[in-house]
Amino acid sequence: MPDRSFSRGRSRIWAALAAFGVGLAPLGVAAPAQAADDAVVETVLSVPGTPEPDGTSVTLDATLVTTAPGTPRPAVVLAHGLGGTKADSLPTARTLARDGYAVLVYTARGFGASGGFVHLDDPAYEGRDAVAMVDEAARRPEVEKTGSDPVVGFAGASYGGAVALEVAALDTRVDAVVPAFTYADLTSALVPQSRVTGGAGSLADVTASGGTGVLKAAWAALLFTGTASAGTDTSGSEEPAAGGQPTPSVCGRFAEDVCRAYVGSARTGTPSAELLALARRSSPDLSRITAPTLMIQGEDDTLFGLDQADRVMRGLPATTPAATAWVPGGHDASISVDDQLDRVTAWFDRYLKQDTSAAVQPAVSVTVPETSLVGTGGGDDDSAPRVLTAGTYPGRGSPAPAVRTLTLDGGAQTVVNPAGARPGALTNLPGSGAAGAAAAVAGYPLAVLPGQAATFTSAPVERPYDLVGSGRVRLDVSSSSDEAVLFASVWDLGPDDPQTRRPTSTVLPGRAVAPVRLTGLTPGATTTVEVALPTVSHQVPVGHRLRLVVATTDSAYAGPVDPATYSVALADPVLTLPDLGGLSASGGSRLDVPVPLVVAVALLLLAALVGLLLLRRARRAEAGGPERPDLADVPLVVEGLEKTYADGLKAVDGVTFRAERGQVVGLLGPNGAGKTTTLRMVVGLIRPDQGAVWVEGRPVQGGADVLGSVGALIEGPGFLPHLSGRANLEAYWKATGRPTEEAHLDEVLAIADLGTSVERRVRGYSQGMRQRLGIAQAMMGLPSLLLLDEPTNGLDPPQITAMRRVLADYAAAGRTVLISSHLLAEVEQSCDHVVVMARGKVLLSEATSTLTGDGRRRLEEAFLDLVGTGPAGGGQ
């Protein structure tokens, strides 16, 4: 089962200077493979890896991705998931390269074209290979250095995320890491033991030392056998090695000791000492990590649960900058960083580029779904999430979270572990996603069989409660044998149906259970044990109850095969839960106010806001200055604009140009040229220090009536994430106060080309979809002047081609389009007139037809002379 984790899904396209189309010279040991966008150069590399134990050399297949081979940039190394190759990381690498990084991707040992065997993230092998990639970054002229050390970050998801933590522990040259959907402790991930000795109020189910735990048999089988079947048999041997042990060919390209450890445990259903030692060895030493660490963890993940993020935050030194984000997704849903690229780049911008303006990540960010009903009763999985944040992580630089207790009803209950542990509870199907989990629980009430589970239930909650973290419960357990294995979980029960007297919904948050193995028991004697419940993120609505379920079986785990009976009772009749009331919340609603009242209040506020805007517009229009009748037929005239910010930066310096009817005008220049500041002054968002703007001869100031004929998309679209694309456009148009028939909604939706996705909530849109919806919003009402700031950001090549046709047709109808871009090739193909800017000044303003031959060379020479970037193609 290949885990193509770091770059699944369509990557976001970020802005970067295209070097004005000048060809880039090949670099490195192999000819660069040119990507579809000629601004990206990919150079294939062979990097020496760590030799195998017998001395066999290993070579790692790698690629360097950059948009500026002649300019040293901070480096980012990307590691892929189990069973994948470097190809899985290339879309993300191209995105980061366009954002100003030199990116190294490589195929881990034992996979693809790289040599060697899979040692399961052993620091002596995969860890040292990652250090070799840092060595490679130090050798590359494309990588920025501090002295002789490269400026380098490391990122990856799942298997690759553990590598990111591993290399940070091994190599102090690593300056920042972003591990995602991964583990901090492979032992607790594969062989959890949720028995604790205290610590109520922790965010996670901290495993006590000692004990053998319970093997995640289903996940282990998927990981080992799936990867083995995807691997290549390099030995050619089908015979067992001396001593009757399997050779690497039995497990594909897994190393012999890894194969032996798994096969031995799979045969018995009990984790062997060899498997436990392997898992401990493959867990990164968090105490050695000094690089700033952003841990992204999925809330739909029964392989690497949220407790692993907690382990990272608590295991890092107190002086290491760290943050964690608990987000939707994971091994039970989908592993994609497409929606997390803003976090990733902001982290690297701050700690690799030393960009203090980059977004600051809160120490903890937790997405709490409004509802996550997976089970009987269903629910709206697409409802709006709430996000809880805090500047310090509970228990790391701040007190542990407070706790709340719920009283549970239910006396001592006798449960049975059947022979062979079958049939077993079916709480989730590893890797099957939410649909598989829903199918699994449909067959059984609460997904467990009668006689195999003890249940204890709370009264209905009187206020909404964010169940975030790991709860605690103390149990009295006795067994008919000297061993007992139990699986504890907390379910959310909806109110009972009046007719059936059954819950209207049953929800297992995160589809997670907490296994507990008790050994050395005296048959019939009672043992008291404290159990750490699964770490989850879930909101419990008003009127719902929580039910503690303690089962004897779970199909995802390997339990005892001998039949036994257990007695389970509450040592204390309470469920202890973390209470994160101190965290700030954004998004979503708590649903403790009637929805009609919320809607009514919102409509009143919207009406008041529109009224204020209209009044402000009228007052500003009165003070707008004299009109220019001589410019009445010119859609846009910009004259002598200047803008200096408080820090002394002169962003715009005497900018003058005009746009005529029927033209598509390109405002061209590198990042920082002043293009966006100019556009903001054109639409009255900021006031110029000097100069003026006229639209059809009327002066522009903030709120001027003439802006009703201007459509604009500047610095990216902004939408209400809980509404559909169509509803966002309709709400936007309603706020303008103009008649519905003037919106031309059907026409702009055809331009957006979102298909049925226009009926989906915007929070699930990709960056490209948001961009297309933003362009459609700017075109609503078919304004005579359309301003678009980097309109092709996030669009794939076919969409860019279609957008060019749309803009040409739009202008051909007698309207005017002004687009800003840093890509000369894009302006050449989309625009018939170009205004070139650099350092706040206009270099020239003329037809794009002149930008060929001598005209183009003159443009490049003038631009580079002003910007001072050196040879063409090398700078920003």
Select from 339, 345, 325 the least CA-distant residue to 389. 325
- Amino acid letter for position 544: H
pTM of the model: 0.64
Whether 432 and 533 have beta carbons less than 8 Å apart is answered as: no
Look at residue 31 in the predicted model and tell me its pLDDT.
36
- The ranges of the chain with pLDDT < 70 are 1-38, 196-211, 226-250, 370-385, 397, 431-447, 580-625, 647, 702-704, 716, 851-876
Q: What is the widest separation between alpha-carbon atoms in the chain?
A: 100
DSSP strand E in 96-142: where? 102-106
Q: Where in the chain is CATH 3.40.50.1820?
A: 19-189+284-390
Look at residue 723 in the predicted model and tell me its pLDDT.
83
State residue 832 phi and psi, 5-degree precision. Answer: -105, -5
State residue 436 phi and psi, 5-degree precision. Answer: -65, -40
Select from 346, 345, 332, 360 the least CA-distant residue to 158. 332
Burial class (CB in 10 A: 0-12, 13-18, 19+), 428: buried
- Which tens digit of pLDDT belongs to each residue from 379-389? 333 445 678 88
Strand partners, 712: 787
Tokens (6 digits) for 109 = 């040992």
Select from 569, 573, 472 the least CA-distant residue to 526. 569
The helix (H) or strand (E) run that includes residue 579 is: strand 574-579
Q: Measured between alpha carbons, how far is 420 from 43 in angstroms, rounded to an integer?
A: 55
Please list, residue by residue across 270-290, b when 16 or more beta carbons sit within 10 angstroms of its beta carbon and e when fewer do.
bbbeebbebbebbbbebeebe
Distance of CA 243 to the CA centre of its chain: 47
Look at residue 437 in the predicted model and tell me its pLDDT.
43
Provide CB contacts within 8 A for 845, sequence distance 6+.
657, 833, 834, 835, 836
The topology under which CATH files domain 402-586 is Jelly Rolls (2.60.120)
Task: Give, in order, the Cα–Cα distances in Å from 535 to each of 204, 265, 602, 734.
Answer: 5, 26, 35, 43
Look at residue 762 in the predicted model and tell me its pLDDT.
84
Look at residue 62 in the predicted model and tell me its pLDDT.
98
- Residue 441 — left, alpha, or beta (φ > 0 → left; ψ -120 to 50 → alpha)? alpha
- Which tens digit of pLDDT belongs to each residue from 703-738? 667 777 888 888 767 788 778 888 888 888 887 788
* CATH node for 19-189+284-390: 3.40.50.1820
The class of domain 624-867 in CATH terms is alpha beta
Look at residue 232 in the predicted model and tell me its pLDDT.
42
For residue 445, give the 3-state DSSP assignment.
helix
Look at residue 867 in the predicted model and tell me its pLDDT.
45
Q: Where in the chain is CATH 2.60.120.260?
A: 402-586
First to last CA, the chain: 42
Whether 690 and 640 have beta carbons less than 8 Å apart is answered as: yes
Q: Measured between alpha carbons, how far is 12 from 765 in angstroms, rounded to an integer?
A: 11
Strand partners, 844: 836
Q: Where in the chain is CATH 3.40.50.300?
A: 624-867
Q: Evaluate the omega torsion of the peptide bond into residue 739 and state whether it is cis, within 30 degrees of 0.
A: no
In the DSSP assignment, the letter for residue 167 is: H
Q: Measured between alpha carbons, how far is 11 from 770 in angstroms, rounded to an integer?
A: 13
Task: Give, in order, the Cα–Cα distances in Å from 315 to each of 287, 289, 471, 493, 505.
Answer: 6, 9, 20, 35, 38
Look at residue 170 in the predicted model and tell me its pLDDT.
98
Look at residue 856 in the predicted model and tell me its pLDDT.
66
